[in-house]
Amino acid sequence: MNTTSGSCPNFSMRLETASMLFHKAVDAVQQGQIPKRNLIWLELTGCAGNIISLLNGEDPDFKGLISQMVHYLYDNSLMAAEGEFAMDQLFDALDSDYILAVEGAVSTKDEGLYTIIGRWKGRPITAYEVIQTFGERAAHVIAVGTCASDGGISAARPNPAQCVGIQNLLNRKVIKLPGCPCHPDWFMGTLAYTLLFGEPELDARQRPLMFYSTLIHDLCPRRPCFDRGVFATQLGEDTCMFKLGCRGPVTRVDCPIRKWNDRVNWPIGDDGPCIGCAMFGFPDKMEPFVRFDTT
């Protein structure tokens, strides 16, 4: 049986989860049923790929997030203020009610000296300091992407800056959205749910079950090839890539139905194996990403 969204109504409904939650949250804000909460987005040790991914969201989209759903108080890359003015805006929010979204791991070597996000009152502010300061006071903390969730590429061997996921430095629960990058729907849906109802139902690794409950392998349109034992021997063959090293059988997230860039495509749809970027331990535990020993 083909398990893509077109053949199963339940998967089609799941595809709309983020959009439905977003619009429900916006309606609740507009009708005064819930407050318009403050959101702080920190970019720490990473590539800024998650904020770029968020900007690519369609329904819901970034414009709706910042104009209708939350007060977007701070973002290293996107805010108009610069230098001390930007850091003033960040620290002015410290005693307010805010939700904290964090992308990137935290460099811990030499007390975080290798990731400085700005200067405030004449001194450097490190990722190490800012996550501890703002993470403990936030109403909710959301780790956006694999680096924030588990260290990710920033913590890959040999990890010279001794990077870790943000949970390592916080004495509280962190909602984790692994993925390299995080799909905009995963963040938007999780944030909207949090605004409406509080913390979503999480699995044992603190991932929202509404997005991370099913293996890619179980949703993959090439699953029938796996069941029949029809395996690709090289990239480009339209059959199961398990023997080429596909990590779909161990990666728990809904990429096959959600896809990327406004639902256009995803790695397996473009004849590339899943590399397990949404798994804890990525990239070290997922390598090699492609192998050609198909015996």
Domain assignments of the chain as residue spans, ordered by start: 5-210, 216-286
Q: For 91-104, b where at least 16 C-beta lie within 10 A, e where not — what string?
A: bebeeeebbbbbbb
What single letter denotes the amino acid at residue 105? A
- Which residue has tokens 């406004």? 262
Say what the pTM is: 0.94
Q: pLDDT tens digits for the chain (295 residues)?
A: 334 444 444 666 778 899 999 999 999 999 999 999 999 999 999 999 999 999 999 999 999 999 999 999 999 999 999 999 999 999 999 999 999 999 999 999 999 999 999 999 999 999 999 999 999 999 999 999 999 999 999 999 999 999 999 999 999 999 999 999 999 999 999 999 999 999 999 999 999 999 999 999 999 999 999 999 999 999 999 999 999 999 999 999 999 999 999 889 999 999 999 999 999 999 999 999 988 765 5
Strand-pair category, 140-144 with 98-103? parallel
**What are the start-end ranges of the H helices in 70-117?**
83-92
d(CA 160, CA 264) in angstroms, rounded, equals: 37
Q: From CA 243, how far away is CA 257, in angstroms rounded? A: 23
* Cα(25)–Cα(57) distance, integer angstroms: 17
The class (CATH top level) of 5-210 is alpha beta
Helix (H, G, I), strand (E, B) or coil at 8: coil
Looking at residue 60, the DSSP 8-state letter turns out to be S
User: In CATH, which superfamily holds the domain spanning 216-286?
Assistant: Cytochrome-c3 hydrogenase, C-terminal domain (4.10.480.10)
3-state secondary structure of 181: coil
Distance (Å, whole) CA 95 – CA 138: 9
State the Cα angle at 118 between 177 and 120, rounded to 5°.
Answer: 125
Residue 270, both tokens: 């473009």
